[in-house]
Structure formats: C-alpha cells, structure tokens
Amino acid sequence: LGCTLTEAFTTFDEKPLAAASIAQVHCATLADGEEVIVKVQRPGIEKTIELDINLLYTLASLAEAYVPEVGMYNPTGIVNEFARTIRKELNFTMEADNASRLRGNFENDPFLYIPKVYHELSRRRVLVMERVRGMRIDEFEKIEASGFDRGELARKGAEAFFKQIFEDGYFHADPHPGNMFVLEDGSIALVDFGIMGRLTDELKDVI
C-alpha cells in the first residue's frame, strides 16, 4: 500500500478471521472508525498456481493420449477454464471492480446488500472492504431464533439472483453458504467477488 499498517489502519488484527488457499482475511479499523476486512494474498501463491496449472495440462494431455474414453470430457478444455478463472481470482483489483459494479446494480435494493470497496486502499494483492456482520445463510437455527422466515429469505434471495441473471446479465458466480450472510435487518449480504458471471442478451433469451 506504500505505507505502514499503522498509517493505513488504526487497528489491525493479525490473527486472520478466515483463511483459504489464495488469501486470508483480517479485521481492521479505519481512521474514521469504519470496520473493514482486509483480504491479503498469500506470498508466492501466483507462482505456485502456475506450477499447478502446468501440471494439470500435462495430466490432461496424458489422459487424452492414453485413455481415449476421457476425450468426450475434454480434459484440456477443463484445465483451460480453470486456469482462466483462477488467474482472474488472483487479481484483487478486478475483484474490487466486480464488487463495485454489483453494488451499483443493487444500490436501491432493500434486500440484497453488497459491501463497499475502499479502492484507495486496495491493490492487485490487497483488497479492503466494508465489514458486514451477520449469520451464514446455512445457520438455520440461528436464523429462525432471530425471527426470520427461511422461506421468505429463500424467495427474496432467488428474486435477487433472477435480477442479476435476467435483468443485469451480471451475477455472483460463487454463491455458497460461506459467501452469503443474513444481516440483522433481514437483508442478505454477499461477499467474495472473485468469480462473476456475464450473460449477453442472446444468452438470456436462451435461458
């Protein structure tokens, strides 16, 4: 970021809130008191992933050469798709833009919430976003104990994704329970915008 942690944040929790293969997430506080999460890419992960991709290409080529039956599954094509997607995930600047675009699409929506991105503190390997607090969408007992109707949450969630797909043609493509939270006002927040989907008007008509 071109500055020290204490210059960028008034507090920074060195113990990660969450960790995955590409990055880990830390909680921090900005000078104005805003709570944020800081997604930090693991050192050297890009080189490791490129080595893995090369290995996958080798295995795919061997499978196609020596096991003709797998040809119908197009192993090399599968590796191509994986490589394209994982390389995009490594660029947090792209993820920041994804989140901002989706936030704009739902700016006036009372149900789906997209956290704010702090672009001035984000870079290719560091992403700073507003922290959202809520219950994972699969924490059913907590959700019901909080007085929320799971059926209504499911209906509104489906409507939000229909809007993304059929109206905007731009959608969150990794909506697993760890990326979806029920907030205290009953809205749903999405996080992790490394993988997004896009549909042309022609594709929307086909669907």
List active site positions. 174
Backbone φ and ψ for 107, nearest 5 degrees, come out as: -60, -35
Alpha-carbon gap, residue 184 to 5, rounded angstroms: 31
Q: How many helices (H) and strands (E) does the chain have?
A: 7, 11
CA distances from 16 to 19, 27, 60, 185 (A): 7, 7, 36, 27
- Residue 40 CA to its chain's centroid (Å): 14
For 118-156, b where at least 16 C-beta lie within 10 A, e where not — what string? beebbeebbbbbbbbebbebeeeeebeeeeeeeeebeeb
> In this structure, what token pair is assigned to residue 128?
């700073």
Helix or strand run (H / E) with residue 197: strand 196-198
Contact 193, 172 (CB under 8 A): yes
